[in-house]
Chain A
Amino acid sequence: MNIVISNKSGLPIYEQIKEQIKAAIICDEIKEGEILPSIRSLAQDLKISVITTMRAYTDLEQEGFVSSMQGKGYFVLPKDSEHIKEQKLREIELHFYDAIAASKIIGLPNDELIQVLKILLEEQN
Protein backbone atom coordinates (compact mmCIF):
# COMPACT_ATOMS: atom_id res chain seq x y z
CA MET A 1 0.00 0.00 0.00
CA ASN A 2 1.27 3.46 -0.89
CA ILE A 3 0.49 6.56 1.11
CA VAL A 4 1.61 9.82 -0.41
CA ILE A 5 1.07 13.03 1.49
CA SER A 6 0.97 16.41 -0.16
CA ASN A 7 1.30 19.61 1.81
CA LYS A 8 -0.38 21.54 -0.96
CA SER A 9 -3.45 19.37 -1.43
CA GLY A 10 -5.57 21.52 0.87
CA LEU A 11 -6.92 18.37 2.54
CA PRO A 12 -5.84 17.86 6.15
CA ILE A 13 -3.12 15.20 6.48
CA TYR A 14 -5.32 12.79 8.46
CA GLU A 15 -7.89 13.01 5.68
CA GLN A 16 -5.29 12.20 3.03
CA ILE A 17 -4.14 9.12 4.96
CA LYS A 18 -7.72 8.02 5.56
CA GLU A 19 -8.73 8.37 1.91
CA GLN A 20 -5.69 6.50 0.63
CA ILE A 21 -6.12 3.60 3.03
CA LYS A 22 -9.81 3.51 2.18
CA ALA A 23 -8.99 3.37 -1.53
CA ALA A 24 -6.52 0.54 -0.90
CA ILE A 25 -9.21 -1.39 0.98
CA ILE A 26 -11.89 -0.80 -1.66
CA CYS A 27 -9.68 -1.98 -4.53
CA ASP A 28 -8.55 -5.00 -2.50
CA GLU A 29 -4.94 -3.92 -2.28
CA ILE A 30 -5.14 -4.63 1.43
CA LYS A 31 -7.43 -7.52 2.21
CA GLU A 32 -9.82 -8.42 4.95
CA GLY A 33 -7.99 -9.36 8.14
CA GLU A 34 -4.75 -7.70 7.17
CA ILE A 35 -3.09 -5.57 9.86
CA LEU A 36 -2.42 -1.90 9.08
CA PRO A 37 1.02 -0.47 9.90
CA SER A 38 1.15 0.52 13.57
CA ILE A 39 0.26 4.14 14.31
CA ARG A 40 3.73 4.95 15.57
CA SER A 41 5.60 3.34 12.72
CA LEU A 42 3.39 5.02 10.10
CA ALA A 43 3.87 8.37 11.86
CA GLN A 44 7.62 7.77 11.79
CA ASP A 45 7.65 6.84 8.11
CA LEU A 46 5.52 9.81 7.09
CA LYS A 47 7.34 12.11 9.54
CA ILE A 48 4.06 13.32 10.94
CA SER A 49 2.46 13.62 14.34
CA VAL A 50 1.28 10.48 16.13
CA ILE A 51 -2.01 12.21 16.96
CA THR A 52 -2.67 13.01 13.28
CA THR A 53 -2.11 9.36 12.36
CA MET A 54 -4.30 8.21 15.21
CA ARG A 55 -7.08 10.48 13.96
CA ALA A 56 -6.93 8.84 10.50
CA TYR A 57 -7.19 5.38 12.05
CA THR A 58 -10.02 6.20 14.45
CA ASP A 59 -11.94 7.82 11.57
CA LEU A 60 -11.47 4.66 9.50
CA GLU A 61 -12.72 2.66 12.45
CA GLN A 62 -15.80 4.84 12.84
CA GLU A 63 -16.56 4.50 9.15
CA GLY A 64 -16.44 0.74 9.53
CA PHE A 65 -13.39 -0.05 7.40
CA VAL A 66 -11.08 -1.25 10.14
CA SER A 67 -11.31 -2.41 13.71
CA SER A 68 -8.80 -2.14 16.52
CA MET A 69 -7.73 -5.02 18.66
CA GLN A 70 -6.08 -4.36 22.00
CA GLY A 71 -2.35 -4.92 21.67
CA LYS A 72 -2.55 -6.01 18.05
CA GLY A 73 -3.35 -2.83 16.20
CA TYR A 74 -5.84 -2.10 13.46
CA PHE A 75 -7.00 -4.75 11.00
CA VAL A 76 -9.16 -4.52 7.89
CA LEU A 77 -12.81 -5.51 8.32
CA PRO A 78 -14.78 -7.43 5.70
CA LYS A 79 -15.95 -4.97 3.09
CA ASP A 80 -19.52 -3.90 3.58
CA SER A 81 -20.40 -3.28 -0.03
CA GLU A 82 -23.71 -1.54 0.84
CA HIS A 83 -21.82 0.84 3.07
CA ILE A 84 -19.20 1.59 0.44
CA LYS A 85 -21.92 2.12 -2.16
CA GLU A 86 -23.68 4.53 0.17
CA GLN A 87 -20.46 6.49 0.65
CA LYS A 88 -19.74 6.65 -3.07
CA LEU A 89 -23.32 7.82 -3.71
CA ARG A 90 -22.78 10.65 -1.27
CA GLU A 91 -19.59 11.55 -3.06
CA ILE A 92 -21.43 11.60 -6.40
CA GLU A 93 -24.11 13.86 -4.94
CA LEU A 94 -21.48 16.27 -3.62
CA HIS A 95 -19.84 16.54 -7.04
CA PHE A 96 -23.24 17.12 -8.65
CA TYR A 97 -23.92 19.91 -6.15
CA ASP A 98 -20.66 21.53 -7.25
CA ALA A 99 -21.65 21.18 -10.90
CA ILE A 100 -25.07 22.69 -10.21
CA ALA A 101 -23.50 25.60 -8.34
CA ALA A 102 -21.10 26.23 -11.24
CA SER A 103 -23.92 26.10 -13.80
CA LYS A 104 -25.96 28.62 -11.77
CA ILE A 105 -23.04 31.07 -11.90
CA ILE A 106 -23.12 31.16 -15.69
CA GLY A 107 -26.91 30.76 -15.87
CA LEU A 108 -26.81 27.41 -17.65
CA PRO A 109 -30.36 26.00 -17.99
CA ASN A 110 -31.02 22.63 -16.31
CA ASP A 111 -31.61 20.72 -19.54
CA GLU A 112 -28.27 21.88 -20.93
CA LEU A 113 -26.55 20.78 -17.74
CA ILE A 114 -28.11 17.34 -18.11
CA GLN A 115 -27.03 17.38 -21.76
CA VAL A 116 -23.40 17.94 -20.64
CA LEU A 117 -23.59 14.87 -18.42
CA LYS A 118 -25.06 12.80 -21.25
CA ILE A 119 -22.26 13.83 -23.62
CA LEU A 120 -19.60 13.00 -21.02
CA LEU A 121 -21.18 9.61 -20.41
CA GLU A 122 -21.23 8.87 -24.13
CA GLU A 123 -17.57 9.84 -24.42
CA GLN A 124 -16.73 7.38 -21.64
CA ASN A 125 -18.44 4.60 -23.51
Chain B
Amino acid sequence: MENILEIKSLRKKFGQFGVEDVSFSLPKGYIMGFVGKNGAGKTTTIKSILNMLHKDSGEIKIFGLDSLEHEAEIKAKIGVVMDSTFFEENWTLIQTGKALKPFYPDWDDYKFKQMLNTFGLDPSKKIKELSRGMRMKIMIACALAHDPDFLILDEPTSGLDAVARDELMDILKAFITNENKAILFSTHITTDLEKIADYITFIDNGKVMHSDTKDNLMEKYVMVKGGLGILNEDQKRLLIGYQECKVNFDGMILREKLELLPNNLATEPVSMDDLVIRFNKGGIR
Protein backbone atom coordinates (compact mmCIF):
# COMPACT_ATOMS: atom_id res chain seq x y z
CA MET B 1 0.00 0.00 0.00
CA GLU B 2 1.34 3.39 -0.98
CA ASN B 3 1.69 5.91 1.84
CA ILE B 4 0.61 9.50 1.36
CA LEU B 5 2.19 10.49 4.66
CA GLU B 6 5.15 8.94 6.46
CA ILE B 7 6.57 10.35 9.67
CA LYS B 8 9.67 8.84 11.22
CA SER B 9 11.00 9.78 14.66
CA LEU B 10 9.74 13.35 14.54
CA ARG B 11 11.00 15.47 17.41
CA LYS B 12 10.13 19.07 18.15
CA LYS B 13 10.57 20.36 21.68
CA PHE B 14 9.62 23.63 23.30
CA GLY B 15 11.24 23.24 26.70
CA GLN B 16 9.32 20.42 28.36
CA PHE B 17 6.56 20.43 25.78
CA GLY B 18 6.39 19.28 22.20
CA VAL B 19 6.66 15.89 20.57
CA GLU B 20 9.35 13.25 20.62
CA ASP B 21 9.79 10.17 18.50
CA VAL B 22 6.50 10.53 16.65
CA SER B 23 6.23 7.92 13.90
CA PHE B 24 3.21 6.86 11.89
CA SER B 25 2.08 6.54 8.31
CA LEU B 26 -1.14 6.99 6.37
CA PRO B 27 -1.83 4.94 3.23
CA LYS B 28 -3.66 6.62 0.39
CA GLY B 29 -7.39 6.08 0.15
CA TYR B 30 -8.07 6.43 3.85
CA ILE B 31 -9.04 8.80 6.64
CA MET B 32 -6.85 8.95 9.73
CA GLY B 33 -8.10 10.44 12.96
CA PHE B 34 -5.37 12.05 15.02
CA VAL B 35 -6.55 11.97 18.60
CA GLY B 36 -5.30 13.18 21.92
CA LYS B 37 -6.25 15.56 24.68
CA ASN B 38 -5.46 19.26 24.43
CA GLY B 39 -1.72 19.85 24.50
CA ALA B 40 -0.83 16.26 23.59
CA GLY B 41 1.13 17.36 20.50
CA LYS B 42 -1.41 17.19 17.68
CA THR B 43 -0.95 20.72 16.38
CA THR B 44 2.85 20.55 16.82
CA THR B 45 2.89 17.43 14.65
CA ILE B 46 0.63 18.98 12.01
CA LYS B 47 2.59 22.22 11.91
CA SER B 48 5.79 20.19 11.50
CA ILE B 49 4.21 18.31 8.58
CA LEU B 50 3.45 21.67 6.97
CA ASN B 51 6.88 23.16 7.78
CA MET B 52 5.15 25.82 9.84
CA LEU B 53 7.54 24.74 12.59
CA HIS B 54 11.15 23.70 12.15
CA LYS B 55 11.50 20.19 13.45
CA ASP B 56 14.46 19.32 15.68
CA SER B 57 14.93 15.97 13.99
CA GLY B 58 13.14 13.18 12.18
CA GLU B 59 11.87 12.59 8.68
CA ILE B 60 8.56 13.57 7.09
CA LYS B 61 7.61 12.29 3.66
CA ILE B 62 4.50 13.36 1.79
CA PHE B 63 3.58 11.66 -1.49
CA GLY B 64 6.90 9.84 -0.99
CA LEU B 65 8.84 13.13 -1.12
CA ASP B 66 10.84 14.79 1.63
CA SER B 67 8.71 17.57 3.12
CA LEU B 68 11.56 20.10 3.18
CA GLU B 69 13.26 19.36 -0.13
CA HIS B 70 10.05 19.29 -2.15
CA GLU B 71 7.99 21.77 -0.18
CA ALA B 72 6.53 23.69 -3.14
CA GLU B 73 5.35 20.70 -5.16
CA ILE B 74 3.96 19.01 -2.04
CA LYS B 75 2.05 22.07 -0.92
CA ALA B 76 0.47 22.51 -4.34
CA LYS B 77 -1.28 19.19 -3.70
CA ILE B 78 -2.23 19.64 -0.04
CA GLY B 79 -5.37 21.24 1.33
CA VAL B 80 -5.24 22.57 4.88
CA VAL B 81 -7.97 23.53 7.32
CA MET B 82 -6.81 24.94 10.65
CA ASP B 83 -8.95 25.62 13.69
CA SER B 84 -9.35 29.30 12.87
CA THR B 85 -9.31 31.29 9.65
CA PHE B 86 -6.13 33.05 8.67
CA PHE B 87 -7.91 35.16 6.06
CA GLU B 88 -8.18 38.95 6.00
CA GLU B 89 -11.40 39.73 7.88
CA ASN B 90 -12.46 42.59 5.61
CA TRP B 91 -12.22 40.65 2.37
CA THR B 92 -15.26 39.13 0.72
CA LEU B 93 -15.26 35.41 0.00
CA ILE B 94 -14.66 36.03 -3.70
CA GLN B 95 -11.70 38.29 -2.91
CA THR B 96 -10.32 35.64 -0.56
CA GLY B 97 -10.44 33.08 -3.37
CA LYS B 98 -8.75 35.48 -5.77
CA ALA B 99 -5.97 36.13 -3.27
CA LEU B 100 -5.26 32.44 -2.84
CA LYS B 101 -5.44 31.49 -6.50
CA PRO B 102 -1.89 32.61 -7.52
CA PHE B 103 -0.37 30.23 -4.96
CA TYR B 104 -1.89 27.13 -6.50
CA PRO B 105 -1.21 26.01 -10.07
CA ASP B 106 -4.32 23.83 -10.05
CA TRP B 107 -6.74 26.37 -8.54
CA ASP B 108 -10.17 26.04 -10.14
CA ASP B 109 -12.39 29.15 -9.94
CA TYR B 110 -15.44 27.29 -11.14
CA LYS B 111 -15.00 24.63 -8.46
CA PHE B 112 -14.48 27.28 -5.79
CA LYS B 113 -17.72 29.10 -6.71
CA GLN B 114 -19.57 25.84 -6.97
CA MET B 115 -18.49 24.92 -3.44
CA LEU B 116 -19.54 28.30 -2.04
CA ASN B 117 -22.88 27.60 -3.61
CA THR B 118 -23.17 24.05 -2.23
CA PHE B 119 -22.18 25.26 1.23
CA GLY B 120 -24.75 28.06 1.06
CA LEU B 121 -22.10 30.80 1.34
CA ASP B 122 -22.79 34.20 -0.20
CA PRO B 123 -19.65 35.14 -2.22
CA SER B 124 -20.13 38.85 -1.52
CA LYS B 125 -20.09 38.39 2.27
CA LYS B 126 -17.04 39.43 4.22
CA ILE B 127 -15.05 36.94 6.31
CA LYS B 128 -15.85 38.89 9.48
CA GLU B 129 -19.57 38.42 8.86
CA LEU B 130 -19.30 34.64 8.94
CA SER B 131 -20.38 32.36 11.79
CA ARG B 132 -18.06 29.67 13.16
CA GLY B 133 -19.66 27.03 10.94
CA MET B 134 -19.45 29.21 7.84
CA ARG B 135 -15.79 29.97 8.54
CA MET B 136 -15.07 26.28 8.59
CA LYS B 137 -16.83 25.92 5.24
CA ILE B 138 -14.95 28.77 3.56
CA MET B 139 -11.69 27.20 4.76
CA ILE B 140 -12.77 23.91 3.26
CA ALA B 141 -13.79 25.55 0.00
CA CYS B 142 -10.35 27.18 -0.17
CA ALA B 143 -8.64 23.94 0.79
CA LEU B 144 -10.44 21.93 -1.91
CA ALA B 145 -10.48 24.46 -4.79
CA HIS B 146 -7.07 23.35 -6.04
CA ASP B 147 -8.02 19.68 -6.11
CA PRO B 148 -5.61 18.48 -3.41
CA ASP B 149 -4.67 14.83 -2.93
CA PHE B 150 -4.08 15.15 0.78
CA LEU B 151 -6.33 17.04 3.14
CA ILE B 152 -5.06 18.01 6.58
CA LEU B 153 -7.52 19.32 9.15
CA ASP B 154 -6.50 20.54 12.58
CA GLU B 155 -9.43 20.55 15.02
CA PRO B 156 -11.91 21.47 12.29
CA THR B 157 -14.91 20.61 14.43
CA SER B 158 -14.09 22.46 17.65
CA GLY B 159 -16.76 25.05 18.29
CA LEU B 160 -19.07 23.65 15.62
CA ASP B 161 -22.61 22.54 16.34
CA ALA B 162 -23.83 19.05 15.54
CA VAL B 163 -25.34 20.06 12.18
CA ALA B 164 -22.15 21.70 10.91
CA ARG B 165 -20.08 18.72 12.14
CA ASP B 166 -22.34 16.34 10.27
CA GLU B 167 -22.01 18.43 7.12
CA LEU B 168 -18.24 18.31 7.45
CA MET B 169 -18.35 14.52 7.75
CA ASP B 170 -20.36 14.40 4.50
CA ILE B 171 -17.77 16.56 2.75
CA LEU B 172 -14.94 14.34 3.98
CA LYS B 173 -16.73 11.15 2.94
CA ALA B 174 -17.31 12.58 -0.53
CA PHE B 175 -13.62 13.54 -0.79
CA ILE B 176 -12.43 10.05 0.13
CA THR B 177 -14.58 8.26 -2.46
CA ASN B 178 -11.52 8.88 -4.62
CA GLU B 179 -9.11 6.17 -3.53
CA ASN B 180 -6.03 8.19 -4.46
CA LYS B 181 -6.68 10.76 -1.75
CA ALA B 182 -6.18 10.78 1.99
CA ILE B 183 -7.26 12.81 5.02
CA LEU B 184 -5.48 13.47 8.30
CA PHE B 185 -7.94 14.85 10.79
CA SER B 186 -7.01 15.93 14.31
CA THR B 187 -9.72 16.31 16.89
CA HIS B 188 -10.59 15.90 20.52
CA ILE B 189 -14.24 15.35 19.65
CA THR B 190 -14.10 11.62 19.30
CA THR B 191 -17.67 11.02 18.16
CA ASP B 192 -16.67 12.55 14.82
CA LEU B 193 -14.16 9.79 14.32
CA GLU B 194 -16.07 6.92 15.81
CA LYS B 195 -17.61 6.09 12.46
CA ILE B 196 -15.72 7.60 9.57
CA ALA B 197 -12.05 7.15 10.47
CA ASP B 198 -10.21 4.21 8.95
CA TYR B 199 -7.09 4.66 11.02
CA ILE B 200 -6.56 6.17 14.45
CA THR B 201 -3.31 7.60 15.76
CA PHE B 202 -3.32 8.32 19.46
CA ILE B 203 -0.92 10.83 20.86
CA ASP B 204 -0.34 11.54 24.53
CA ASN B 205 2.37 13.70 26.12
CA GLY B 206 4.09 14.13 22.77
CA LYS B 207 4.34 10.40 22.13
CA VAL B 208 2.34 8.15 19.82
CA MET B 209 0.60 5.56 21.99
CA HIS B 210 -1.18 3.72 19.18
CA SER B 211 -1.49 3.91 15.45
CA ASP B 212 -3.69 1.25 13.91
CA THR B 213 -6.94 0.73 12.04
CA LYS B 214 -9.87 1.94 14.09
CA ASP B 215 -11.50 -1.47 13.98
CA ASN B 216 -8.37 -3.21 15.32
CA LEU B 217 -8.03 -0.66 18.08
CA MET B 218 -11.65 -0.93 19.16
CA GLU B 219 -11.48 -4.72 19.14
CA LYS B 220 -8.22 -4.85 21.01
CA TYR B 221 -9.69 -3.42 24.20
CA VAL B 222 -12.82 -4.07 26.19
CA MET B 223 -14.47 -2.30 29.14
CA VAL B 224 -15.05 -4.37 32.28
CA LYS B 225 -17.30 -3.51 35.20
CA GLY B 226 -18.11 -5.33 38.37
CA GLY B 227 -18.62 -5.25 42.10
CA LEU B 228 -15.90 -4.46 44.62
CA GLY B 229 -13.84 -7.29 46.09
CA ILE B 230 -13.94 -9.43 42.96
CA LEU B 231 -10.49 -8.49 41.71
CA ASN B 232 -7.21 -9.05 43.53
CA GLU B 233 -4.40 -6.52 43.35
CA ASP B 234 -2.63 -8.29 40.47
CA GLN B 235 -5.81 -8.31 38.45
CA LYS B 236 -6.45 -4.63 39.13
CA ARG B 237 -3.05 -3.86 37.66
CA LEU B 238 -4.17 -5.39 34.34
CA LEU B 239 -6.76 -2.67 33.96
CA ILE B 240 -6.06 0.58 32.15
CA GLY B 241 -7.66 3.60 33.81
CA TYR B 242 -8.99 1.53 36.72
CA GLN B 243 -11.40 3.42 38.92
CA GLU B 244 -13.68 2.42 41.75
CA CYS B 245 -16.45 3.98 43.76
CA LYS B 246 -18.38 2.74 46.79
CA VAL B 247 -20.46 0.25 44.87
CA ASN B 248 -18.43 -0.87 41.85
CA PHE B 249 -15.31 -0.54 39.72
CA ASP B 250 -14.63 -0.20 36.02
CA GLY B 251 -11.67 -0.10 33.70
CA MET B 252 -10.40 -1.04 30.30
CA ILE B 253 -8.39 -4.15 29.51
CA LEU B 254 -6.67 -5.78 26.55
CA ARG B 255 -9.13 -8.35 25.23
CA GLU B 256 -6.44 -11.05 25.29
CA LYS B 257 -5.96 -10.47 29.04
CA LEU B 258 -9.66 -10.82 29.78
CA GLU B 259 -9.27 -14.51 30.58
CA LEU B 260 -7.08 -13.61 33.56
CA LEU B 261 -10.09 -11.98 35.23
CA PRO B 262 -13.00 -13.78 36.92
CA ASN B 263 -15.81 -14.49 34.44
CA ASN B 264 -18.64 -12.90 36.42
CA LEU B 265 -17.81 -9.37 35.24
CA ALA B 266 -19.85 -7.27 32.85
CA THR B 267 -18.00 -6.43 29.63
CA GLU B 268 -18.86 -4.03 26.88
CA PRO B 269 -17.17 -2.71 23.75
CA VAL B 270 -14.99 0.38 24.19
CA SER B 271 -15.91 3.72 22.67
CA MET B 272 -13.36 6.16 21.35
CA ASP B 273 -13.99 8.31 24.41
CA ASP B 274 -13.23 5.35 26.67
CA LEU B 275 -9.88 4.92 24.91
CA VAL B 276 -8.92 8.59 25.26
CA ILE B 277 -10.01 8.83 28.89
CA ARG B 278 -8.61 5.51 30.09
CA PHE B 279 -5.25 5.93 28.36
CA ASN B 280 -5.01 9.35 29.89
CA LYS B 281 -5.73 7.96 33.36
CA GLY B 282 -3.05 5.41 32.75
CA GLY B 283 -2.18 2.11 34.32
CA ILE B 284 -0.16 -0.43 32.45
CA ARG B 285 0.22 0.23 28.77
Residues of A within 8 A of B (CB): 10, 12-14, 40-41, 43-44, 47-52, 55
Contact = CB atoms under 8 A, between A and B. Distances in A.
B213 A44 contact: no
Contact of A44 (B177, B197, B269): B177
A51 B170 contact: no
Contacts of B199: 51
Contact of B214 (A10, A41, A44, A51): A51
A40 B169 CA distance: 14
Interface string B143-181: 000000000000000000000000001100110110100
Contacts, number: 45
Contacts of A40: 176-177, 179
A7 to B, nearest CB: 8
B177 A49 contact: no
Interface of B: 29-31, 169-170, 173-174, 176-177, 179, 195-199, 213-215, 219, 269
23 contacts: A12-B215, A12-B269, A13-B195, A14-B215, A40-B176, A40-B177, A41-B177, A43-B176, A44-B173, A44-B176, A44-B177, A47-B169, A47-B195, A47-B196, A49-B197, A49-B198, A49-B215, A50-B30, A50-B176, A50-B198, A52-B198, A52-B214, A55-B215
A98 B197 CA distance: 35
Determine which residue in B29, B30, B195 has the highest number of CB atoms from chain A within 10 A of its CB, and name it: B195
Contacts of B214: 49, 51-52
Contacts of A55: 215
A43 B213 CA distance: 15
A40 B182 CA distance: 13
Contacts of B173: 43-44, 47
Contacts of B198: 49-52
A34 B195 CA distance: 28
A13 B197 CA distance: 13
Given A12-B215, A40-B176, 9 more contacts: A40-B177, A40-B179, A47-B195, A48-B196, A49-B214, A49-B215, A50-B30, A52-B214, A52-B215
Contacts of A50: 29-31, 176, 198
B181 to A, nearest CB: 11
B151 to A, nearest CB: 15
B8 to A, nearest CB: 23
Nearest to B214: A49
A77 to B, nearest CB: 24
A4 B170 CA distance: 18
A14 B218 CA distance: 13
Contacts of B196: 47-49
